[in-house]
Structure 1
């Protein structure tokens, strides 16, 4: 039986990226994405340099922000360069193995993005709800262990998801209805049963996005209840201000994803180009906005930038 399955398995040499076929002036959009990518690299490396350089930022919170910046750079790099190459330089053919490799890294870093934002919610929960014990509960070592543990779960699940793609036979079209090797559009091309792929995809959505978002919501319910118990008006204001940067991150990452998944679940008819356009923005804008928001909305980082600037002025004047 296994021999028969192997004999009938059809693996193409590669796939053709077919997104945005009917969208005019596509090249201008991908020039825009190129600018987004360069800005993403600059902003995230700038934030990482600030955190690495300033010892006072070597805390659990900023270890997680540093990790998030690494993930942002990796996530953008797994999508944008190949997409720009495909649509700006008309290189839309991608080898089968290369396609699966890109698919794995996009799945992995999107899951890690979600987990990192969730870990930041956990850090806010501990620091606000347990202020006297937060230093002992949330140590640098413990935070590193949490980050490493969170990196293992999507590694295993995403490897299984990509492995299941290798069990599919592609005997009809090999044109991917997306702007990169997107997991769902790829397994939908298969001409044999892809039910396990559907199940793995839904498991991934629930595990990597729904569960973390539920944890974040519960965390903020606890945070709001704890803040309301603070008698000082200034204390409440400061506590809420601490959370604003993280809430921006939650909004820009999860709201577009929820819109995409909800339209899929309720089987709402959405124009293909509109769906791909929204998906591309949801994947590329958060990695750019995350470091900008944390830089502008976090007082410690702004103070660190001012210190570095003053040191440079003093050094140049001498």
Structure 2
């Protein structure tokens, strides 16, 4: 496109005429310098940058993710999320294990290709910019995260558990099935979190997003993903996540519960998180609680596959609808 054509497209899709000379960027290496109203030229397609994505948490405006841009495809007007190359690593502590986790744009590009057409995963393509960076261009999902959905559900836990959980759990199990399929082809998600499932506004479909992390753990290639799934099950069964301090703040009954907690009741993944929900909510079936305890500090054996976890959850379903 010529600059004049780009200006017309920008005006058509944003209803504002751009001022001054357009900044057209082909090398995205210095992503901090890419600003709103810049135009990215990637593999012959032009994208108008609208701003940076943010890590949002339940009505709180999170930190901007400067390497992830909100954009408009100037050929179609479709909203896109453009993930630029950002290398980051950290060490995760899981029990006595130290696990290196790091971002890999190439890994996410590979998984995007493998899940193309699968509605359980975000969809997109990968292009290479003029500096050789793997840029992922993602179709924007109109909706909210699973984390936001559950936090906004304004009912007490017992009502939630008996009236809402059975149907919600079916959706969560569908998400776990998708991860199991990913594992069966040798890939991992790498960053399984409650806010990495998005619920589509129009059809209610639950969709996995953001799988650019990898990890090195020789003990179990899929292990970090499995602990992530355990955390999602905990969040789903508890309609939230709880620490001893939070529970103690509920008053005398909360103080009694908190004083009864032991190390073996806590999450192996995050030590201040209560895994033994039955101590908080006695009506939780023992079978479901036992699944959660496989992810606790008191566990002596662990799940090896997502399929094993799913089989155990399926056996709990009848108890939840009684």
Q: Which TM-score band (shorter chain)?
A: under 0.3
Q: Whose relative contact order is higher, 1 or 2, with alpha carbons under 8 Å and at least 6 apart?
A: 1
TM-score in terms of structure 1 length: 0.25
User: 1 or 2, which has the higher strand percentage?
Assistant: 2
Structure with a larger share of its residues in helix: 1
The TM-score, its normalising length taken from structure 2, stands at 0.25
